Amino acid sequence: MNPHARARLVAVVDDDSGVRASLSSLLRALGYDTLTYASAAEFLQALPAHAPACLISDMRMPGMDGEQLQAALQSAGHDFPVILLTAFPTEAMRARVLARGALAFLAKPVEADLIAECVDRALARR
């Protein structure tokens, strides 16, 4: 993948195929390239060949959850921005992931404008 394409690549990790499809569609409409993954393990297997400029991940997934994925990425030295989504937000969860460096912690359902703002902010930092 050429460096310019990677600069616009957003990875979406969510075990819900409808969420993956809708986020991917929204991001493509906003001009981003996307890759989608049904699990954190599937995403980790694709690295580093398909390292994104930004990652959007669900928090609650079977196997490795979003918080564990964030920790694994940091342990492996990956520094791309992470946006975490959940339908079951708690302040304790928010505090943990933001303290660990997540760019955003958003409650589902998420407004398209908020996703766009967060991804724009993430890629502006790259």
**77-91 confidence digits (pLDDT tens):** 998 999 999 999 999
The Cα–Cα gap between 98 and 104 comes to 7
Q: Output the domain CATH number for residue 57.
A: 3.40.50.2300
Q: What is the pLDDT of residues 35-62, one digit of tens each?
A: 999 999 999 999 988 899 999 999 999 9
| Pair of tokens at residue 56 | 């959007």
**Residue 83 DSSP SS3:** strand
In this structure, which long-range contacts are made by residues 109-117, counting pairs with CB atoms below 8 Å and at least 24 apart in sequence? 110/85, 112/26, 115/23, 115/26, 115/27, 115/56, 115/83, 116/26, 116/30
The Cα–Cα gap between 126 and 114 comes to 19
Residue 123 domain flag: no
Q: How many domains does the chain have?
A: 1
**pTM, 2 dp:** 0.93
pLDDT at 119: 96
Residue 96 domain flag: yes
11 - beta bridge partners? 35, 55
**Domain that includes residue 26, residue range:** 3-117
